[in-house]
Structure 1
Amino acid sequence: MPNDSILTALVNQLGRSTLDTTQINLISKLNDRLCAMNQAGLALPWLESATESAQRINKPLYWGRLYYQYGRYYHNLSNYPKAYQAFNKAIPALQQSGNSLEALKAMNYLSLVYGERAEAVKQIEQLNKNLVYAEKTKNYRALSTIYSFLHKIHLDSGDTARASSDLQAILRIARTYNDPGECYLTYSYLADRYEKKGEYAKALPYQQRARLDAQQSSQKDDKPAGSYVIAIWAVANNLFHQGRLQEAERTLAESFKECKRLGLPFFDLGSLLLAQLRERQNRLDEAHHHCQQVISHARKRNPHMVMEGLKVMVSIQKRRGHFQEALTAFQELKLINDSLQRINTHKAIANLEARVELQKQTQHVAILQKDAAIHQREMTHSRQRQLLYGALLLTLLVLALDRRWATKNARKETQHLREVNAVKDKLFSVISHDLRTPVLHLRASTNQLSHPTLESTHFSEQLMRLSRNVNAIYSTLDNLLQWSAFQQDLLVTRPETVDLSELVEQVLVLFEGIIRQKKLTVLRDEEVLRAKVDVVQAQIMIRNILHNAFKFTPVGGEIQISYESGSIESVLSIKDTGIGMDECKPSNAMPTADKGTGLGLLLTREFIKLNNGKLVISSLAGQGTTVRLYFMKPQEETTLTLA
């Protein structure tokens, strides 16, 4: 006997019971429990004992209950012929006793047996008989159950018109008998049908109606209040999948509020949906926090919820750039999945072992002596079919998974090659522009320097121009090397507290020649601006922005460098009076190779992201350009500012 507290209590009550009626009722409960645990084979000795009690009582009600339990017993052993016989004996006996509810349970079980034997015609005939008897006895709950069976049959056969009619019948019955619980289940099922097809907009009205019925159902004393919370969550989940994030967030907040009001425990589904919502809103740290809560809470009691949480965690960690943590979460997900598969395998083996033990015991039972050989052959054929179907299913599953894996790898490889080619084309475009102009100037300067009659003044000017072009080529090549390192994930960002004003002064030294030549005025604040940033990357960013400012500001123009210290950010602003850009071009547009936006600005955008900052460009054609670099303030200064 399995180690189960409910079974132990039933066996103890049977030991103390002396009334035949009580023993039959207890044995019925014991058989129900064993069937629920997939251990129905252990019930035979108890059913034999109940047979003796039924013979002594000799009343239709107890014979009906006994045959009903025999039918369930044979059904769980896949002995369908004997299950037919048992249910066909139970049904008239229970009908004769006037117990319509138990009679309908036996009738529905008989239709289920027909369905498992793929006898669709007999199954539908039996269900129609069940409908007539349920209407005659005014058992509306049984009517809903029967229509549910018919709906599934019609849906599986592709008869969507009859399937919809069945659902409408269930709704009509629930409304007639004022059962919001049945309405809630039916509306939820209707919504689920649309959501499985991705038609969330069509599903939403049904989810909202299900929520109203769940609320009414929860107000009854005999109804669980948790169904109302689940209904609210279903609406929020629907809104989330439609991309209506604000509405989804408000609805989800209502479910948490209802949980708190009812004193319900931690709401895993709600917290997981909140994590997905925060991920969609790009609030990744909050998403990580909520997802971690779900995983921690469900780890000891709900492995399936842990798996769902880990799936979301993998996505969040990948978006955060924490690929090692994403890999760890994925490995744990696979480990849990494999563990559940092993548990199911062990359960199946234990069930088979129990059936083998039962087979040994049944050989010594006198009441089944005549049927032992037939039963053994039927069991053998059933197991062979199961093994054959299992082997075939496993083979198909392996082939499908192998094909899916190969297709997935091919798609990934194709996408990777496309991305590599796109990066290559973009690099060739920007490099060809940024190198071509200074190289042409360099060639012109060398040609003029080689002229024998060149005056000393012009010679000095050509040397300065030559130096400026060499610096431009060096800057472009340095940007190219940095970009190459970035693309190969070789860059390591090491933020530290630096004075941006000092970095600006260091970079300005590199542009003294072009400042003198173009007679530019450089205005800059005299204050200190501290930020948390990688020093080398900050120098490259400032150099690239200043290079563009000096390059496109005409002779006699003005460059203004200003500093701004906010509560959590340090802002470096560089404004020029150059040619500017078209207003219609957004500040976050991808740089191209035209008009000098080039690799320098592209590299600046990537570096500012690595340092948790942002780049904002505002410009009008003919009115100049303002570039604002936002950096994070050092932690100690942020604390003082907030204080």
Structure 2
Amino acid sequence: MRLLHCTKVSSVFLYLATALLGLLPLAGRAASNGPDPALTQSFDAGLAELVGAIPLAPANPQARLRYGLSMLREASKSRSADKQAAGHRLVGSAHHELGSFAKAAYHFRKALQLDQQQQNQPNVAVDGLGLGNALLSQGDTGQARQVYHLALQSFAQQNSRRGRAQVENRLGSLYAQQRKWGQALASHSRALQGWLQHQDSARAAATLNAIGNVYCQQGAYSRALYYLRKAMRTAAPTDSLRQSESLTSIGRVYRAVGNYDAALTSFKQATRLVPTTAPTVPHAQLYQALAATYDSLGQVSAAERALHQGLVLARRSGSALLLSQHYRALAEVYRQRGQFQKSLVMLTRFTSLQDSVFAQERAAQVAELRTRYESEKKEREIQLLIKDRQIQDATLRRQKLLRNTLAVGALLLLIIVGGLYRGRQQQARVNRLLERKNAAINRQKEELTRLNQTKDTLFSVISHDLRSPLSSLYSLLTLLNIGSLPPERLALHSARLTRGLNSTLQLLDNLLNWSAAQMKGDKIRPERLRLDVLAEEALALLLGDAERKNILLQNQLVVPTLVRADMNMVRLVLRNLLGNAIKFTPEGGSVILTGAQQGTVWSITVQDTGIGIQQADHERVFGKNGPFTTPGTAREKGTGLGLQLCKDFVERNGGQLTFTTQPGQGTAFTFTLPVALAAPDAQPAPATVAAAAG
């Protein structure tokens, strides 16, 4: 959905610039400020405890912000460095929870400078931890790592294992953001050891949750689920906050592997467990993830309800960025439901908030740059007092000019690359759509061609192969009506006509089955059946044909041959294969039916001593290029559909049909069917001879 009009050049530039800064969603994904919430928490719990040690410090971030600003005003009047540092620490923690990371970094840096001047090492460690968190949330991993190491040294000087464990946790999140998986896991493991030594199950569970998220980022989803479930077991049953965090992470893993049903279950459990006192930002993000999962499952109404629940929390959090993400998602949901008026309202709110977010971020970045410049300037004055001030200013100006030039050039380059990338993506989508349309057209063409061939074959068989027997029957009935046919000739013609009608009935049976298969109107009904019984039945039906040609039929299936297949299809396969063998076997020959179990399938072979199949006809036997037929040894006719039907029905029942042949010596057709579990009272069936040479 396009959010800005192309007619306004300034609006387009703002869209591209904010998109590059992560303030607008691209490619259907919600924007995020800072690292993935699955890797880092909105605020470190250990730091929150240390900040909360200040008397009367409120837990609510908005209230804490007001309280901290009031403390700063009072400290400014009394010129108390300790109170000023405490006030900056409170304001920084509140801004961090509210998502204003640049402001949080500014206040933590102020607190760090004041505590360093007072040589207050415990507070220096706390300030360093808070500043590192803010820098990491901004994506400044380089400075964040340096500040974390400073905090780690301060905690080590105090011999504070808990403090070191907190810093190791944050370093693990930093390395994960840099995709340095080995270092991330090592830092989290050291933090986990510290929490376990202190028997702090809550933070141990949080660290296990972080380890699981690192494995999830690597794509090692099985290991991720192992650590996330371990985190749930480690957390106290009453610790609903940690339980909900682990369930949220488990839901993200299932979303990553495409198991949306399992993800939905995890997110629902998390929403039931998350306490009302939980931080509002991750709580709102949980409902965002729940809504996205509902949307993936096509449950748009449920997604809307989840987004409205998250919207309440987003408003309470005071985060304009989080609120704008909810408006953007609601606009998409309303668009899918066809409620375009509501979608437009949400988009309007989204765009207005985007301007506010953009202005806030720019102002915060300006303040951050100003603070960073002042800090660096003071450090240089302390370290380089003997250097000339004018040379120092000139150097700073050159550096600033170069940095700004590079920044502008990089921004323009990113805008160009982004435009080219989006153009290529759009072209690729169009190409994929055309390919799908062409493929659908080709499939329809092939289906129409196949149906047309089926119609032509059906009419051809009806007009040629069925007409002759019916004409003979008509002629015989005409002779009977006029009474001019002697009894001996009547008996001869009756026998001949009976054989012709039997052949015609078999032909019609094959024709109807083949037509049903071609039209895809038949259904497979697999059941457990005895193939040896069906074989005996087929042999009995074909006994008359074999006796007329003096052919020996032998059934060597000596045990109950239990298979799972469609009974009618198997009957047709046996009847056609045996009839085909009789058709192409000369007088005095033999047809043998054998079978053997091969693992999970029964292999059934129909072996004859007939004329065999010529090499040139091998590819045409199963009707690959249309029905193929040749007359039998007694000039029997056929449609060429029997073997084609046999192959189709065998494959539909999970088997295969193959043949081997020697011209002049005979042919063996072999088909396989899945084995069915034997009944407890199954008894072997003796070998039988259906017909013998007279």
TM-score (normalised: structure 2): 0.47
Please tell me whether Structure 1 or Structure 2 has the larger radius of gyration of its CA atoms. 2
State the structure with bigger RCO (CA 8 A, min sep 6), 1 or 2. 2
TM-score (normalised: structure 1): 0.50
